[in-house]
Structure formats: C-alpha cells, structure tokens
Amino acid sequence: MGRMTVTPDLMKISEIWIRIFNKMDADEKVAKDFGSGDLLHCSEIHTIMAIGKNPDINLTSLSHLLGISKSAISQMVGRLTKKNLVERHRDPDNDKEILLCLSPKGTIAYLGHEQHHAKIYARMHRNLGDLSDKDAALILRFLSAMEETLDDRDHVPG
C-alpha cells in the first residue's frame, strides 16, 4: 500500500482539531451549575437532558438511549434522585416498572442547559456567520470524516 503524503494544510487541520479536542475534553471535566444550584458533571446533565426529552422513560430505555450499562445508569439516576433532580414513579399500567421524570429542580437544570447551548450556538454564528449550502456541506463532510476517523481508531494497527 502506498504512503499518503501529509500536506501542510492537513497537518494544520490536524493540529487545530487536536487543540479543539483537548479544550473540549478539559471543559467536560469541569462541573457546572445550570441554574439548579448543583454542580453537574457532563454525564449528569446529559442524563437530565435525556430524561427531560423523554419523560416517563424507564432505566432500560435510558441506558440504551445513552449507550451506558443499566448498572451505570441506575447509579447515575440514584445520584440525581439524591440531588432532587430526578423523580421515580411506578408505571400505572405495570406496577413493576419504574419510570423517570425531572423534578421541578431538574427542569430548571434542563432549561439552563438549553440556554447554555443557545449561547454556544449564538457565539458560533457570530464567529462563523451565515454559511452557504456549499460551506455547510463541506463542514459536515469534514466533521463526518473526523468522526469516522475516531470510530476507526480501534481498527488501526500499531
């Protein structure tokens, strides 16, 4: 198999991508308050977001949705219940089934996270401006290629 030539442009793209990845990784490790008064880690707010978008979801469905083991999601829900962000209740149609929903405090965190994303989108638009269809297609192609590269990393020898 022939060797690919790494162009200066590809090298620069790679360097910027690594910087972005490192900044995002560091940012995700910092717990944040989304208005509920609780410092929430990334995994906690993503669980809150999933429950908020899927009220009355059960643990099994939530574990599938988030790609996390049922045991891990059960522990997460336990922590969020202790923080009074998530409530459990029995399914009226199946007394054995426990369903999850957000508490009023959890709803505040959910809405705060939505506002957090709205601010990020506004900054992105300010920094990027309006995109032509062609530019958007190129960015989507690039991001898809980067995701595929990350997905393939386990299959690359060496």
pLDDT tens string 31-43: 999 999 999 999 9
Candidates 75, 97, 101, 76; CA nearest to 88 is: 101
Candidates 94, 92, 10, 86; CA nearest to 49 is: 86
**Element spanning 48, H or E:** helix 42-53
pTM above 0.85, yes or no: no
Tokens 């940012």 locate to 27
What is the pLDDT at residue 12? 92
Cα 40 from Cα 45, distance rounded (Å): 6
Mention every residue, 6+ apart, whose C-beta is less than 8 A from residue 85.
Answer: 36, 38, 44, 48, 102, 103, 105, 106, 109
Q: Which two tokens stand for residue 29?
A: 């490790």
pLDDT tens string 63-108: 999 989 999 999 999 999 999 999 999 988 888 889 999 999 999 9
Between 150 and 63, the higher pLDDT residue: 63
* Residue 103 near residue 87, CB atoms below 8 Å: yes
Cα 87 from Cα 84, distance rounded (Å): 7
